[in-house]
Amino acid sequence: MPKLKTKSSAKKRFKITARGKVLMPQAGKRHGMIKRTNSQIRKQRGTTIMSKQDAKIVKSYMPYNLRG
């Protein structure tokens, strides 16, 4: 079997946790902060865990980065 290539964009944007969940940066932080409430801005810090359905797709992009 030939080796599979990892999608470069996926390895830069996502990280797999030890339990196999996919971490992603919070969405909606690029622009328009004046419109958002302070609590919204606070909640959008850091990273979040991706939904199961989307995580399945992202994991297929990174065949060798799966832990467990």
Total domains, the chain: 1
Please write down the HEC assignment for all residues of the chain: CCCCCCCHHHHHHCEECCCCCEEEECCCCCCCCCCCCHHHHHHCCCEEECCHHHHHHHHHHCCCCCCC
| Sequence letter at residue 6 | T
Residue 42 lies in a domain: yes
Flag whether 35 is in a domain. yes
Mean pLDDT of 20-32: 95
What is the extent of the structural domain holding 25?
Answer: 8-61
User: Residue 21 is part of a domain; what is its CATH number?
Assistant: 4.10.410.60
How far is the C-alpha of 31 from the C-alpha of 53, rounded, in Å?
A: 27
Q: Which of the pair, 64 or 47, is modelled with greater confidence? A: 47
pLDDT tens string 43-58: 999 999 999 999 999 9
Residue 68 domain flag: no
Residue 66 lies in a domain: no
Q: Between vectors from CA 40 to CA 12 and to CA 50, what angle results, nearest 5°?
A: 35
What pTM value is reported for the model?
0.82
